[in-house]
A and B are shown apart, each in its own frame.
Chain A
Amino acid sequence: MGGMGKAAVAAAALLLAAWPVGGWAQGHSGLVVGMQLEPPHLDPTAGAAGAIDEVTYANLFEPLTRIDAAGAVVPGLAERWTVSDDGLTYTFTLRPGARFHDGSVCDSADVKFSLDRARGPQSVNAQKAYFAAIDTVETPDPRTVVVRLSRPDGLFLFHMGQGDAVIVAQETADTNKQKPIGTGPFKLDRWAAGDRVELVRNPDYDGPKPALERVTFRFISDPAAQVAALLSGDVDTFPQFGTYEALDQFRKDPRFAVLDGTSEGETLLVINNARKPFDDVRVRRAIGHAIDRTTLIDGAMFGTAKPIGSHFPPHRPEYVDLTGLSAYAPAKARALLAEAGYKDGFDAVLRLPPPIYARRSGELIAAMLAEVGIRLRIENVEWAAWLERTFKGRDFDLTLVAHTEPLDIGIYARPDYYFNYRSDRFNATEDELSRTLDPARRVALLQQEQRIVAEDAVNGFLFQLPVVTVQKAGVTGMWPNRPLQANDVTGVSWK
């Protein structure tokens, strides 16, 4: 190599060394948030993809009420509200200074438009059922909205705080997918499709100003790339970090903080209750006793998850620990199977959707069930096929998935739900719950429901899906738990 060559290499090295990539040297008014999936668009009222809410909820768009970090209902666009004694009339008072990002005032007409659109015949809202109880929406003055229900709905305020219920303007409703115009403290600056969404602070926001001037959401699907992005300092915080095997490394590194949180996702071995031999409660109970949750959680989730014994998250006050009803007891499982007429076990298919928790748990469970004579063949499928054949077509024996909708134990009362469970006892409880507003009675009923589905061993109840956030040690204010699918960064700052 001649002198020229050496000089060129030296120059290149200098150039590279001086390159301002410095993730670790960043200023403290911005935040880079890592996400596994990119949202297909940015309109939370027109799609179920969790990634949409993870960018937009509370940051770009606001609903009437809001769900806070603890899962409680707090004021959102409505600064206060009253509920009539019969639970049928809700009167919301809007924040006086609320404005959309295009400068227009957000008033009661926008609320009426948003609610009517979500429940109307042309609605493509993924959670249209949230609005089903609404009978009329009236707007006596620009700051007052009166919603009358046709029946009491104990979860109405909770549902009105979800991303699917955000308030949009009529003028921009059809273009929100690409150009979201909300009332939130941030507005969209730039969306580099496939790579990142950048938000900037909204200077005209009427509420408390967020500490961050700029928030960048980066979409990194590959597990190795997620780890590299954190270690190189490119990403400041990664909520819902899915590469559990790398957690130990981050826990030991003083540059990082690891937040162990919990989600609303009950992870279930879903059983088709209508199909032989699973229509026999003894077979379903046998499956429960054959599963060793401790080994499962250690093996599939690297010890980060909490076991569940029914369809309810352990972090909620109404939770009852029912794991004892399906404690690991392989001998008991074999006895139950023999009693049901399957002394030699049987064959079945376990269909697994793509998430890593499902694939890993499924393989361990197949091995555990084999111990008691249930021989499972594993079938890996993509989401599109899972939704069509398993969820909608109900053509399956067993599948494994986390049910992430908050407070969704009511699904056990649906006659056409995919696990085909029918129980008059449960339905009567759910019916009473939906009409009950008294908090103490609601708690009792919710606990009753947990007991019924656990006693009937409707599904294999495995664990609450954990939410692990890995971030730089200097970041504060990220939600450790996930009461709903959101990355509310309005309260995030740097130490």
Chain B
Amino acid sequence: MIHYLGRRLLGFAVSAWVAALAVFVVLDVVPGDPALLILGTEAQPDTLAALRAQMGLDRPAAERFVRWSGGLLRGDFGTSHTYNRPVASLVAERLAVTLPLALLALALAVAVGVPLGVWAAARRGGIADGMVRGFGRLGVAVPNFWIAMLLIWVFSVALGWLPAGGFPGWQAGTGPALAALILPAVALAVPEAAILVRLTRAAVLDTLREDYVRTATAKGVGRRVVLRRHVLPNALIPITTLVGLQFGFLVAGVVVVENVCTLPGLGRLLTQAIGQRDVTVVQGVVLLLAVLVMAVSALVDALHAVLDPRPRRAA
């Protein structure tokens, strides 16, 4: 077990590092000098040279990457040259927005999507089923940023209940911070919930056709009990796989919604850093995203082991 975990962790580290290397190479090749970007059109050759030396850009590319990798081993993620702050604190600050946002959105999506899917499957062909399937189709088709804009117009501009974007920071209190996150979380959750509804419905319908379900029903077990004890546990395996994938998409895919809602999250940090050619920040964020996505997939694997007793019995 320890051996397995060790191998898996090492795999994590190597894949994340390779992702960072790819980012470094790409940003090194595309045109754009960060020092010129900072000093602008009136920059003089001597000020540019002084700034490049300050930023360490006068060193060869390979040396810069090796230095950065070496820093990683000591837990040093480097310094952002645009913000003049350590990347670790910068990323941690943004993660404190994006992670709660993604978790909130995911919780909403699961809380709405899974029960609706089961409900629709249980009433297959009825009006309820039709409506739920309609939601599934519509929700997948409508982009999340558009939903965010719509929600802002209704709840901020017209009703004035919630702020129209922005984030006061967690130090301003949990209430105001959550108030700032709720609209973007709903906007992110709707399309994900729609996907979950469709998959849950399909998975439940598939399971309903299984022999053991027919047997249970034939033995006189009640409908609710069949659903709860026989159908749901089996349908949960594809559902958890999807939820794990969705989390990855949510964390990495909040860029547009963060822009529309003016949230200082990871996605905005990443796009700004690319525009500013702030390589250390981009590397740091990509590294973190890679680790997060891999950690969630590992978590899903572990969950499967709990949900599905077969491999345990065989062992």
CB-CB < 8 A to B46: which residues of A? 121, 123, 128
Inter-chain CA distance A388–B50, complex, in Å, is 18
Does A389 have its Cβ within 8 Å of any Cβ on chain B?
yes
Interface stretch, picked from B122-130, B131-139, B149-157, B304-312, is B149-157
Within the assembled complex, what's the spacing in Å between the Cα atoms of A467 and B161?
Answer: 31
**Which residues of the other chain, B, contact A129 by a CB distance below 8 angstroms?**
42, 44
Q: Are B32 and A48 in contact (CB under 8 A)?
A: no
Is A24 a contact partner of B160 (Cβ separation < 8 A)?
yes
Q: What 1/0 flags go to B294-312 for Cβ under 8 Å of A?
A: 0000000000000000000
Is residue A189 contacting chain B, with contact meaning CB distance below 8 A?
A: no
List residues of chain B with CB within 8 A of the CB of A41: 82-84
Q: Which residue of B lies closest to A175 (CB)?
A: B84
Across the interface, B39 reaches (CB within 8 A) one of A126, A178, A220, namely A126
Q: Which chain A residues lie closer than 8 Å to B264 at the CB level? A: 192-195
Q: Does B236 contact A (CB under 8 A)?
A: no
A17 to B149, CA, bound (A): 20
A124 to B276 CA separation, bound complex (whole angstroms): 17
B179 touching A21 by the CB < 8 A rule?
Answer: yes
B262 touches A219 (CB 8 A): yes
Q: In whole Å, how far is A486's beta carbon from the nearest beta carbon of chain B?
A: 16
Asked if B161 contacts A228 (CB within 8 A), the reply is no
**Residues of the A chain whose Cβ atoms lie less than 8 Å from the Cβ of B34:** 384
- Whether A221 and B82, one on each chain, are in contact in the complex, defined by CB atoms closer than 8 angstroms, is no
Chain A CB within 8 A of B269 CB:
yes
Whether B164 pairs with A389 at a CB distance below 8 angstroms is no
Min CB–CB distance B208 → chain A (angstroms) = 27
A219, B166: Cα distance in complex, Å: 8
Q: B30 near A: Cβ within 8 Å?
A: yes
Q: Which residues of A contact B31 (CB under 8 A)?
A: 384-385, 388-389
Give the nearest-CB partner of A126 in chain B. B39
CA distance A40 to B43 in the complex (A): 17
Binds B, one of A96-104, A142-150, A229-237: A229-237
Interface residue A177 (Cβ < 8 Å from any Cβ of B): yes
A9 to B: closest C-beta gap in Å: 14
Given contacts A178-B84, A195-B167, contact A384 B275 (CB under 8 A): yes
List the B side residues contacting A260 at CB < 8 Å: none
Question: For A47, A121, A178, A222, which residue has the most chain B Cβ atoms within 10 angstroms?
Answer: A222
Tell me the residues in window 159-179 of chain B with beta carbons closer than 8 Å to chain A beta carbons. 160-169, 179
B:166-210 near A, CB below 8 Å: 166-169, 179
**Interface check A391, CB cutoff 8 A:** yes
* B276 lies within 8 A of A384 (CB): yes
Chain A's nearest CB lies how many Å from the CB of B196?
A: 22
Report the Cα distance A426→B62, complex, angstroms: 47
On chain B, the residues within 8 Å of A40 by CB distance are 38, 82-84, 276
CA distance A51 to B176 in the complex (A): 27
For B43, list chain A residues within 8 Å (CB): 48, 126
In contact, B156 and A228 (Cβ under 8 angstroms):
yes
CA separation between A19 and B84, bound complex, in Å? 37
> Which of B36, B94, B165 makes the CB contact (< 8 A) with A220?
B165
> In the complex the two chains form, is B161's CB within 8 Å of A19's CB?
yes
Q: Report B74-97 CB contacts with A as 1/0, cut-off 8 Å.
A: 000000001111000010011001
Give A219's nearest chain B residue, CB to CB: B262
Encode contact with B along A147-182: 1 for CB under 8 Å, 0 otherwise: 000000000000000000000000000000110000
Query: Would you call A22 an interface residue if the criterion is a C-beta within 8 Å of the partner chain's C-beta atoms?
Result: yes
A225 with B38: in contact, given A383-B275, A387-B32 (CB under 8 Å)?
no
Docked-complex contact A385 and B50, CB < 8 angstroms: no
Which residues of the partner chain B approach A135 to less than 8 Å between Cβ atoms? Answer: none
Fill in one digit per residue for A23-65: 1 if any B CB lies within 8 Å of its CB, else 0.
Answer: 1100000000000001011000011110000000000000000
Min distance, Cβ A428 to any Cβ of chain B, angstroms: 23
B47 interfacial by beta-carbon distance below 8 Å: yes
Task: Give the chain A neighbours of B54 by CB distance below 8 A.
Answer: 124
Is A195 a contact partner of B262 (Cβ separation < 8 A)? yes
- A383 vs B97: C-alpha distance in the bound complex, in angstroms? 28
A385 pairs with B30, CB closer than 8 A = yes
Q: Tell me how far the C-beta of A250 lies from the nearest C-beta in chain B, rounded to whole angstroms.
A: 13
Q: Does A80 contact B (CB under 8 A)?
A: no
Among B38, B83, B179, B261, contact of A193 (Cβ-Cβ < 8 Å): B83
B223 to chain A, nearest CB (A): 21
Q: Are B90 and A193 in contact (CB under 8 A)?
A: yes
For the complex, give the distance between the alpha carbons of A405 and B40 in Å.
11
B residues near A383, Cβ cutoff 8 Å: 37, 275
Min CB distance, B8 to chain A, in Å? 34
A-side contacts of B272, CB under 8 Å: 38
B41 is an interface residue with CB less than 8 A from chain A? yes
Among B93, B168, B179, B275, the residue within 8 A (CB) of A382 is B275
User: Does the CB pair A225–B162 fall under 8 Å?
Assistant: no
Complex contact B85–A225 (CB within 8 A): no
- In the complex, what distance in Å separates the CA atom of A49 from the CA atom of B34? 12
Answer whether residue B140 sits at the interface, using C-beta atoms and an 8 A cutoff: no
The answer to whether A127 touches B42 (Cβ under 8 A) is yes
Residue from A38, A124, A228, A391 in contact with B47 in the complex, judged by beta carbons closer than 8 Å: A124
Q: Across the interface, which residues of B come within 8 angstroms of A194, CB to CB?
A: 93-94, 97, 167, 263-265, 268-269
Render A185-206 as a binary contact track against B, CB cut-off 8 A, 1 for contact: 0000000111110000000000
A221 in contact with B47 given A48-B39, A228-B164, A231-B164 (CB within 8 Å): no
Question: What's the minimum C-beta distance from B27 to chain A, rounded to whole angstroms?
Answer: 10
**B149-A224 in contact (CB<8A):** yes
Q: Say whether A234 contacts B164, CB under 8 Å.
A: yes
Is A84 close to B, CB under 8 A? Answer: no
Question: Once the chains bind, are A229 and B44 in contact (CB under 8 Å)?
Answer: no
Instruction: Evaluate contact between A193 and B93: CB separation under 8 angstroms.
Output: yes
What 1/0 mask marks residues of chain B from 267 to 278 whose CB sits below 8 Å from any chain A CB? 011001001110
Q: Tell me if A195 and B160 are in contact (CB < 8 A).
A: no
Question: How far, in Å, is B82 (CB) from chain A's closest CB?
Answer: 4
Q: Is B33 an interface residue (CB 8 A)?
A: yes
Q: Is B38 in contact with A48, judged by CB distance below 8 angstroms?
A: yes
A217 and B95 CA atoms in complex are apart in Å by: 22
Give the A-binding residues of B (Cβ under 8 A): 30-34, 36-44, 46-47, 50-51, 54, 82-85, 90, 93-94, 97, 149, 152-153, 156-157, 160-169, 179, 259-265, 268-269, 272, 275-277
A interface vs B, CB < 8 Å?
Answer: 16-17, 19, 21-24, 38, 40-41, 46-49, 121-129, 177-178, 192-196, 218-222, 224-225, 228-229, 231-234, 382-385, 387-389, 391-392, 405
Q: A192-B169, A384-B275 are in contact. List 14 more A-B contacts (CB 8 A).
A: A21-B163, A48-B39, A48-B43, A49-B38, A121-B50, A124-B47, A126-B38, A192-B167, A194-B93, A229-B165, A232-B164, A234-B163, A384-B277, A387-B37
The 8 A-B pairs at the shortest CB distance, nearest first, are namely: A194-B264, A48-B40, A384-B32, A232-B164, A228-B164, A40-B82, A232-B156, A192-B169
Q: List 24 A-B contacts (CB under 8 A).
A: A21-B162, A41-B82, A41-B83, A48-B40, A48-B43, A123-B50, A124-B54, A125-B47, A126-B42, A192-B264, A193-B90, A195-B169, A195-B263, A218-B166, A219-B262, A224-B152, A224-B260, A228-B164, A234-B156, A383-B37, A384-B32, A384-B277, A387-B40, A387-B41
